[in-house]
Chains A and B, each alone.
Chain A
Amino acid sequence: MKPSVAKQPHTFAHFLVYALGFLLIWEWLRPIPIVTYTGEIHVFILFALFAFLLTFLRIPYYATVPLLFLGSLYGHHYIFGEGRFIERDGGGESVRTFFSDFSHNLGLIFSWELQALTDPFRSFLFFLLLGLVAYLMYYWIFYIKKIFFFLFITIVYITVLDTFTPLDASMAIVRIVVIGFFLVTMLHMLTVQAKEREIGRRSASYMSTAWLYTLMVMILGAASVGYAAPKFEPQWRDPVPTLERWVMGESSGSGQSVRRVGYGDNDERLGGGFIQDDNPVFYADVEQPGYWRGESKDEYTGHGWVISPDYVDAGDDISYSLYASGVSTESYTARLEMEDGVGFSNIFYPGQLTSLEVNEMANADGTPTFQIERIGGEVRIADSDTLLLDYQLDYDFPSFNTTALESASEEEDSEAIQERYLQLPDDLPDRVGDLAEDIVSDYDNRYDKALAIEQYFGSNDFVYDTDDIPVPDEGQDYVDQFLFDTQRGYCDNFSTSMVVLLRSVDIPARWVKGFTEGESVETLDGGSERYEVTNGNAHSWVEVYFPEVGWVPFEPTQGFSTNVDFSEEAPDQEETVVEEEEEDAQEEPNAPEQDEDLFPEDDEFGEAGAASGGSDGGGLFSTDEWVTPKTVIISLVVLVMVMVLYEKKHRLLSHYFLLHYKLTGKNKAFTTAYERALWLLDNEGIPRAEGETLREYANRVDHITGTTAMGRLTSTYEQVCYGGRSTGTEWTEEQKHWEELVNALKS
C-alpha cells in the first residue's frame, strides 16, 4: 500500500496539514533559547522550514541531502563566520573551519568526551536533527497518517518545560492545542478520503471551503471559550519539590534551600516567602497530640532569633521542666519514627518531656550522650552527626487553670527570668511598645493581657500568607515591618511579633519552634493515633512565663491552635468559675485537623495549609490525603497503561475471544466469533453494505486485507448459518483464519 500513497499528488490540503506539522516543530524550537544557551534560534527555524519544503516537494534524496548540507553550512557561516558567504575569506573560511572542527569533534565523539564538543559542531548536529525531523514529520503525516502521539509528546514537552524551567508556556499551550486540533481533524479527513478513494468513491483529496470554515469556527470558538473561561487554581500541589528531592536525593530534614518550608537551626534572619513542601518528616503514634517542641530561643535581634546555648550532659535523667508542680498534667507516651532519609540530632516532644528511650539511630558511635540545652529546652545528642531515627518518650501534657493564670502576679518574676525574657533590641521602634500598651490597657492581669495580644492578630487586617513575604532591610525591624507595614505573613511573623509585644509590656515570653501535631492518618489499637508530620507542619509559637505555673503556650498565628487545654475549673482545685474568653479551636482540643473553614474565602490558605516558613518556619497543611506524589505517579502509570491497552485493543480482544471460544462449545463459539469479526470489521471502517451478501463482503474484505482468511471463515459460516448444520471442520483451523484476519486488520 505504501508506494501507492507516495505516488498520489499532493493537494493543497496536504500542504496545509504539513504546514501545521511545521508549526508544531516550531513550538519545539521556541523554548530552546530560554531553557538553554542556544542563540540565533531563527536560523534553526529557517533551516527547519527549508528542510520541510524540500521534503514536501519530494526532491530526490540525492539532491535533498547535499542541499540540506549546504543549508547547514550556510547556517554555520551565518552564526559563526564572518564576511559574505560567497566570498573566499567569508564562506570559504567558514567551510574550512567547519571541516577542521568536524574532524576534531568526530575524535571527541569516538573518545566519548561529549562535554567537550564545540558549539559549531553541536549546531551542526542540531541541523542534522532538524533535517531528520522534517522527514519524520512527513512520514508520520503521509504514511502513518497519525499525529496524535506526536501532539501528545509536544504537550508533555511544553508542560514539563513550563513546570521545571522559567519558561512561561501559557500561550504556547493554547497555540499547540489549536494547531493540534486542526492537524488531527484535517489529517483524519485526509485518511477518510484516502479510504474512500480505495473503494472508488472519490477521485482526489479535497477540503471543501464550507468544511474548513466550520472547522475554523469550531476550533477557534472552543479555544477562545477555553481561554476566556474562569479556571481553578491548581488543585494538586506543586510536584516539583518532591521530584527534585527524588532526583537530587536531597534530604528534606535539614539544610535545604532557603525558600522551602521546614525545620532548621538558623533563625537569625527571618522573612521571605517559601515554597510549600508536604513531604513527611516523621510519623508519631500518640495518645494525646500536641505541638512538637524542638527548642525555644530567647534573644530577639531585630531580624530574628538567637540563643547562647547552655548545654549540659543529661545523664540518665532526660527531662526538661516547663511547668510548675501546681499545674495539673496527664502522663502519656509517644513514639516517633522518622521518614526515610530524614533524621535530626535533637528530639521533638509534646508537652513536658519526662523520659526518653531511643530505638534506632544512624551514624551512632557507641552509646550516645544526650545533652539538654537548659534555656531553650533543646534535647539532643552531643555528636551532631548522629541522627535519631526512632524513639519513644514519656511526657506530661498540661491542662491550665485560667483562674490560677489570672491571679499570677508580675512582681513574682525572678531576676533571671526578667533579665533573659524581657530582652528587646535597643533600636526597636517606639511605636511597637506604644501599640502593646494600647492593646493591654484594658486588662489588669498577665493572662488577660497575653490573650488580648494573641487575639490582636486574629483581627486588625492581619492576613495569613506565605507568598512574597518581604525580608526586612538591614535597618528595618522584622516585627515593626509586620505590625505596621505589611500585616501579611506566616507563623514566624505572628509569633515573633507576639513575643516582642509581650516583652514591651514586661511580660516574660519566648519564641518556640517545632512542628504542629500533624495530620491523623490512622487510628491505632489502644486509643492512640498515628500522625503524619510533614515539612509543611514546621511551626513557631509563643510561650509566656507565669510565676507558679511555668511556661504556657500561646498561639497567635491565624488558623492554628495548640491542643493545650485551658479549663476554668481544675478538677482537683476549688477555684471559682471566672468568665474568660477562649479561642474557638480550644473547644475541640483533640481535633487533629485544623479549622479550614475559618478562612474559607482564602485560597492561599486552603492550598498551602496554614503553613509558615522561611528557612525554619512551618505550619499545618490540610490538603486531601489522596493527592500525594504516590497517587499522582500511580495515576500516570494507569493512564499510560490505558493508552497502551487502547492502542493494542484489537490484539488483546482477539486473544481474549480466542481464549473465550476455546473454553466454550464449538459450534456456538464459531458463530459468535464470526459475528465478532463482522463487528470488528465494521468498527475498522469496512462495514458491510445493506444488500451485500457475506460472500461478496468476504471477497471485498480479503481484497482489502490481502488475505483469504475472511473467505474461508465465511464459507464455514455459511454452512452453519444457511446450511443448517454444525461446523464439520476443526475450530482450530478457523482459529488461524480468525487470527490472520484480525492481525491483517491491524496493519
Chain B
Amino acid sequence: MEKHAPESTVSQPFVDRLIDNVEKVVVGKRREIELSLIAMLSGGHVLLEDVPGVGKTMMVRAIAKSLGAEFKRIQFTPDLLPSDVTGVSVYNQQTMDFVFRKGPIMANVVLADEINRTSPKTQAALLEALEEGSVTTDGETRELDKPFFVMATQNPIEYGGTYPLPEAQLDRFLFKFKIGYPSAQEELEVLNRVERKHPIDELKEVLSLEELLTMQKEVTKTYVDETVKTYIISLVNGTRKHHAVHLGASPRASIALMKAGQAYAYMQNRDYVIPDDIKFLAPFALRHRVLLNSDAKLSSITNDRVIRDIIDQVTVPVKKAAAKR
C-alpha cells in the first residue's frame, strides 16, 4: 500500500505467513485472526463472546502452534479456585521445601474458556494476570512468561449460574469481538479439511517466540502523530459525552486504541498510524468499555450502535496539528 521502505525488519512477511498458517485450520476468519494478532503484538488480550463450537479453541491453538508457543487451556467452572489458575506451592518431602507448581496461566498462549462461569475471586486472579503480567501466590509475585496472550471467552446464552464480569473488569481486555458462524461454503470447506485428519496436527511453527518479542518491540516504534492522537482522544471523549452512555471509556481505552493502532499499522507494513487504523479498530476496542444508561437499554440501543454513532460524528482531523513532533 505504501511505497516507501519500512524501517522495521520483520513485519509484513512474517505476519502474512502467520495468518496464512492459522488460516489452514480456521476457515474464513481472517479479520478475527488479524485482530488476535494485533492484540498479541501490542501485548493485549482478547475477549470473545460466542457460542461454543465456532472454532475459538482451534484458532488459539493454531496461533500457539504457529509460534511454537506453550498453549494452555483453562475451563472455568463454578468450583474453580484461584490456585487452580495461578498454580500452587506443594511441600516436597525430599527437599524439605515448598515447590511451586505452575498453574495453567503460566504459558505463552492461554485460552480461558467461559470465564463468566467462575466465581469473582477466580476471575480476579485471572484479571490480575492480564493486567500486571504477573501472579501472586503465597505472598510471592511471579512474573509470567513473555510473550503472554490470553483469549478469554464468554458464553452469551446461558445466564443461570454465571457471574457476569463487572464492566470495570472488562476494561482489561484490549478487544472484544465475536467469531460467528461460518458461511455455508466456509463450513463445507471446514468439513472437507477435517474429513481425514485434523489439519492442526500438521501445523508447523512459522515464527519463533523470539521473533514475536522483537516484533512487539518494533510495534512500539510505530509513529503516532499528534493529529491521530487527537482523533483517538476525540473518539474516546465522544463515548463520555454520548447521551445514551452512563459510563464512558477510560483513558486506558485511549491507550489501548493507540497501542492497537500501532500494531495494526505495523501489520500493514506502515511505520505510522493513520486515522483509518483507528477507525477500523475503535468498535472492537471500545464496545465493551461503555456502559449504557437505562433509557438506552430500554429502547434497545446497543453498544455497537452507540460506537458507530460516535465514529460517524467525530470529525477526522485532516490537517496537520500545529504542534511539532
| Interface set of A (CB-CB < 8 Å, partner B) | 671, 675, 678, 688-696, 715, 718-724, 728-729
Contact = CB atoms under 8 A, between A and B. Distances in A.
B228 interface: yes
A723 B272 contact: yes
Contacts of B4: 719, 728
25 contacts: A688-B318, A690-B316, A691-B279, A691-B313, A691-B314, A691-B316, A693-B274, A693-B279, A694-B276, A694-B316, A695-B274, A695-B276, A719-B2, A719-B4, A721-B319, A722-B227, A722-B272, A722-B273, A722-B274, A723-B223, A723-B271, A724-B223, A724-B272, A724-B325, A728-B4
Nearest to B235: A691
- Say whether chain B's binding surface is mostly helix, strand, loop, or mixed: loop
B312 A696 contact: no
Interface in B3-50: 3-4
B244 interface: no
Nearest to B325: A724
A690 B315 contact: yes
A715 to B, nearest CB: 7
A110 to B, nearest CB: 64
A242 B316 CA distance: 62
Contacts of A696: 276
B319 to A, nearest CB: 7
B225 A691 contact: no
Among B225, B276, B318, B320, residue most surrounded by chain A Cβ atoms (within 10 Å): B318
A224 B23 CA distance: 75
B222 to A, nearest CB: 10
Nearest to A729: B3
B260 interface: no
Given A678-B318, A691-B315, A728-B4, A721 B225 contact: yes
A722 B2 CA distance: 13
A671 B276 contact: no
B180 to A, nearest CB: 24
Contacts of A693: 274-276, 279, 316
Interface in B277-309: 279
Among A693, A728, A729, residue most surrounded by chain B Cβ atoms (within 10 Å): A693
Given A675-B319, A715-B1, A728-B4, A722 B275 contact: yes
Contacts of B272: 719, 722-724
B152 interface: no
A718 B4 CA distance: 12
B60 interface: no
A721 B227 contact: yes
Interface string B222-233: 010101100000
B153 to A, nearest CB: 31
A693 B225 CA distance: 15
B236 to A, nearest CB: 15
B311 interface: yes
A692 B316 CA distance: 6
Nearest to A694: B318
Contacts of B225: 721-724
Interface in B75-126: none
A682 B225 CA distance: 25
A461 B227 CA distance: 84
Nearest to A716: B3
A721 B271 CA distance: 13
Among A715, A720, A721, A729, residue most surrounded by chain B Cβ atoms (within 10 Å): A721
Contacts of A678: 318
A688 B275 CA distance: 14
A722 B3 CA distance: 15
Contact of A671 (B311, B313, B314, B320): B320
Given A695-B276, A715-B1, A721 B314 contact: no
Contacts of B271: 723
Given A690-B314, A691-B311, A728-B4, A720 B279 contact: no
A26 to B, nearest CB: 50
Contacts of B314: 690-691
Nearest to B238: A691
A724 B323 CA distance: 11
Contacts of A724: 223, 225, 272, 325
Contacts of B3: 715, 729
A678 B279 CA distance: 20
Contacts of A718: 274
A158 B131 CA distance: 83
B295 to A, nearest CB: 24
Contacts of B319: 675, 721
B195 to A, nearest CB: 41
A12 B81 CA distance: 75
A690 B279 CA distance: 13
Across the A-B interface, give the 9 residue pairs with the lowest CB-CB distance, nearest first.
A723-B272, A691-B312, A693-B275, A693-B276, A722-B274, A722-B225, A693-B316, A695-B276, A690-B315
A693 B279 CA distance: 8
A214 to B, nearest CB: 31
Given A723-B223, A723-B225, 6 more contacts: A692-B316, A694-B275, A694-B318, A715-B2, A719-B4, A719-B272
A93 B271 CA distance: 87
Among A688, A691, A728, residue most surrounded by chain B Cβ atoms (within 10 Å): A691
A728 B3 CA distance: 10
A688 B271 CA distance: 26
B52 to A, nearest CB: 36
A689 B314 CA distance: 10
A311 B223 CA distance: 106
Contacts of A728: 4
Nearest to B1: A715
Nearest to A723: B272
Among A694, A720, A729, residue most surrounded by chain B Cβ atoms (within 10 Å): A694
Nearest to B324: A724
Contacts of B320: 671, 720-721
Contacts of A719: 2, 4, 272
Contacts of A694: 274-276, 316, 318
Nearest to B274: A722
Among A675, A678, A695, A729, residue most surrounded by chain B Cβ atoms (within 10 Å): A695
A534 B316 CA distance: 69
Contacts of A690: 312-316
A162 to B, nearest CB: 53
A724 to B, nearest CB: 5
A238 B257 CA distance: 75
Interface in B225-272: 225, 227-228, 271-272
Contacts of A722: 225, 227-228, 272-275
A205 B215 CA distance: 55
Among A694, A724, A729, residue most surrounded by chain B Cβ atoms (within 10 Å): A724
A718 B3 CA distance: 12
Contacts of A729: 3
Nearest to B321: A721
A730 to B, nearest CB: 12
A724 B227 CA distance: 10
A674 to B, nearest CB: 9
A693 B1 CA distance: 16
A724 B274 CA distance: 11
A721 to B, nearest CB: 5
A501 B299 CA distance: 104
Contacts of B2: 715, 719
Contacts of B311: 691
A676 to B, nearest CB: 12
A678 B317 CA distance: 13
B277 to A, nearest CB: 9
Nearest to A675: B319
A408 to B, nearest CB: 93
Nearest to A718: B274
B227 to A, nearest CB: 6
A692 B279 CA distance: 9
Nearest to A717: B318
Nearest to A690: B315
A696 B273 CA distance: 15
Nearest to A695: B276
